[in-house]
Each structure stands twice: as C-alpha cells, then as structure tokens.
Structure 1
Amino acid sequence: MAGRQAVKAYLDLVSQACRAMLIFLKHNKIPHTVENIAIRKGQHKTPAFTKLNPMQKLPVLEDNGFVLTESDAILKYLATAYNVPDHWYPKLPEKRARVDEYTAWNHTNTHINTSSIFLHEVLLPCMGQPTNPENFEKVLADLDGTLDKLENMFLKNQPFLCGDDISLADLLAVCELIPTCLSSHGLEMDILKDRPKLLSWRNRVQSALSDSFDEAHSVVYQIREKFTAKLSPC
C-alpha cells in the first residue's frame, strides 16, 4: 500500500452495508477517511453526491480517482487490491466461489428480510402508519425461512459461513443480524434469540472483529440507548 493515498469512504452508519465496509477498513488497517452522508437529511440526493453516484445510494468508495459503488463489489475490490489475509476473499477458486455464493444470496434474502422487519416494527409506526398484522406475519415467515437456509445451507456445522475462517460473507451477514433497534412495543428485538447455533456464530464473528465492530456500530448503539430511555422508537 506504499505510495497510495488513503481511500475515501462515503457512509451513513445507520446502513448495514456501510457498517460492514467501515469494519473491513478498520480491521484490516487500510488507510481511509470517512465522508459522512446523512440519508435522513437527503444528502445522498445532492448534485455533488449524485455526480459521484447517480444511483444516489451508499456506500461509495473512492480510491485514487477510482469510484466504486455497491457494498459487495467494494468489499471484494478492497480484499483484492489491498494486502489483507486471504481468508476474507480466498484466491482458491472453490473457496472464493463459496463466498460469492453467499454474497449473491445475501441482498435478496438476509438483507431484504431484516429490512422488512425494521420497516414494519419501527419505520411505519414512526410515520404514524400501523403495521398490518397479516403483512407482518408474512414478513416473519419469510425471515424464518431465510434464517433456516442461513443455518442449514451455509453455516451447517462450520465455525463460519464459508468454512473455518471468517470471510466477507460473515461480515455482510452479521451486520444484518445484530439487534440495533427497538420494536414498536419499546422492546429490543433479536431475531436470533431462539436460534442458538446462529447466536454462537454471531458471537464468534463479533469476537473475531473485536473493536472494529463496536466502533462501526457506535451510532446505532447510541440510537438504541436513546430509544431505550424513551421506551419508544419514535
């Protein structure tokens, strides 16, 4: 990495994908600066940011004039371009394919289902829109099916999703599955509370990531504490 400028990360740490990117940068000591873009303030829709990413989404990486969007692509680029341990994104084709298999599945399964829970239990009540019980039951059923596959298809009896070592798959997944909000009833939700195997996996991942995990989650921890004090998410 000698002679390279620090990469610039455009992030909103309320976003799971943004937290995953920051954890990877910090844990692997990749020189970086952070440009905070507050989605709630519409900063991702400004002309300057739209020029950077016409999709108006986060995260975005800027590396010596090279601009890249989409968290999956960003993490794989960083793992390939910088001197990080091979277990993150293995060079061996079979092992790399296992990581690709999960990351391809993550966005339309783990991510969409955990986001739906957040929408129904937090965002809709905050906007004064009551959650439809039938819709919420379907969301819970979809999530349950996704967690079954996460546990039985990917994790199986391994320490981590793709084998014996932590990888980009675990990083993306754990940021989706950490309890970061309160429900509309003022209670903290943990969607893994009845799944000891996945709970043990999550604990292993957090332990492996050490301080970088808590640093990246500091914003959502503060939000959670604020909500707890008020006994309401709104």
Structure 2
Amino acid sequence: MCVNLVSCKFAGEHFTEEFAKVNRFQKVPAIDDNGFVLRESVAILKYLTVKYKLADHWYPSDFERQIRVDEYLHWQHFNTRLNAAMIFRSIVLDPQTTGKPINWKRIEYFKGELSKTVEHLEKAFLQEGPYLCNQPEISICDILGACELMQLNAVHGEQLYESNEAVRKWLERVKKDLSPHFDEGHKIVYRAREVFDRMKGKL
C-alpha cells in the first residue's frame, strides 16, 4: 500500500505552497494515494477501508449496518466535531493566533451544546451496542468520535464527557482497541495540554 499521508504541525505547514498542491483549501487532513487526492477525513477513512479491503467491521459491507455508520458520520459534523472543536479552538488556538482574550461566553455556549451531544451519544448511538451506531465491533465512526472528544483533554475538559458512564466506557474501549496507535496519534493534543497549562498561569 503506497499512501502518502500529508499532515502539518502548529508551525503552519499547511499554509505552504507545497501543501497547497495537495489541498488547495490548505486544511488537514489530506491524502495523496498515488495521485488520487482526498481532502476530507470521512472520505479518507471510507476510501482506505474499501480500497484496501480492511477488516469489514471498520466500514461494514452489510447495507443496514453501513447506513448506521453513515448516519453518525453525517451527524457528527455539526455535533461531536463542531462542539468539541470549538471549545478547543476558543481556548487554545484563537488566543494564540488573534491575540484576543478568551471568549468565555462563547465557550460556555459550546459546553452546553456538547452536553447535549454527549447525551445523544449515549442514548442514540450507544444504546444497544458497545460501539457507536450500536455496532458489535469498532468502526471508523468510533475513530472520529474519539478523536473529537480527545481535543477536550487538551484543556482539562474531560469532565465534559467522562461524567457520562456509557460514553466514558466506550472511549476506554476505543483507546484499548487502537493502542498503541491512539496515544501516538494524539501527541499534539497532549502537547497542547502543556501549552494550556502554561497559559492558565497568565489568565
């Protein structure tokens, strides 16, 4: 499998001319698989699982199970992804890039929305199974859901989801299933937490 995964760091590598050749939107993630370029995480995960015939549980071939996975993949954009990302962005990224003080009113709004999201995860997506979409095994939607919530760990926001026992246990299963790659993939989140800890002393 010859896949060139293009990533960036806090240094702004995604704004370089080289990266723009892969993704004109200058956003991450992006993938260049022997000239076939994709610029969106859901599409990338589907592409990799189908083209390279990965284990069926990642993106089930069974029609109804697959549609259940797709249901979450569409829902998460304006729920898990939006709310977790906006809390992380408002506390960590925006103050560094704009120089403006943290907008705590905005953060409280997204915390409220995230609380609803966590409840939906429990009651709609974890009601009948150990993994999202009530799947018996881990799938690509678990990867996306876990990664979005992990952003909160960078700002000591674990309590925003860990207070929900079903969601906490689900995330523990995902971490275990993806070990040791889970921690490797979240090094930036762990580093961001160190940055936030330093920022707290200046707030």
TM over 0.5: yes
Question: Partner of 1:84 in structure 2?
Answer: 54
Q: Deviations over 1:117-175 (max 9, x none)?
A: 11333344555534445433322221111111111111113100121110011110001
Secondary structure in 1 aligned to 2:162? Answer: coil
* Cα distance in 2 for residues equivalent to 1:159 and 1:233: 40
* Cα distance in 1 for residues equivalent to 2:201 and 2:149: 18
* Structure 2 gap ranges (5+): none
* Cα distance in 1 for residues equivalent to 2:139 and 2:106: 34
* Cα distance in 1 for residues equivalent to 2:95 and 2:188: 21
Contact 1:43 1:49 in 2 (8 A): yes
Larger relative contact order (Cα-Cα within 8 Å, sequence gap ≥ 6): 1
- CA RMSD in angstroms, aligned pairs only: 2.1
Which consecutive segments of 4 or more residues in structure 1 shift more than 6 A?
A: none
Q: Deviations over 1:186-221 (max 9, x none)?
A: xx2212131111001100111111111111112322
Paired residues, number = 198
Question: Partner of 1:147 in structure 2?
Answer: 118
Kindly, what percent of the aligned residue pairs are identical? 40
Q: 1:192 aligns with which of 142, 161, 167?
A: 161
Question: Partner of 2:33 in structure 1?
Answer: 63
Secondary structure in 1 aligned to 2:26? Answer: coil
| TM-score normalised by L of structure 2 | 0.87
* Cα distance in 1 for residues equivalent to 2:169 and 2:90: 27
Question: Partner of 2:154 in structure 1?
Answer: 181
* Structure 1 gap ranges (5+): 12-36, 183-187
- Mapping of residues 28-43 of structure 1, within 5 Å: 37-38=8-9, 40-43=10-13
Contact 1:122 1:233 in 2 (8 A): no
| Greater share of helix | 2
* Cα distance in 2 for residues equivalent to 1:233 and 1:124: 17
Secondary structure in 1 aligned to 2:189? Answer: helix
Q: Deviations over 1:13-62 (max 9, x none)?
A: xxxxxxxxxxxxxxxxxxxxxxxx23x33322222221221111111111
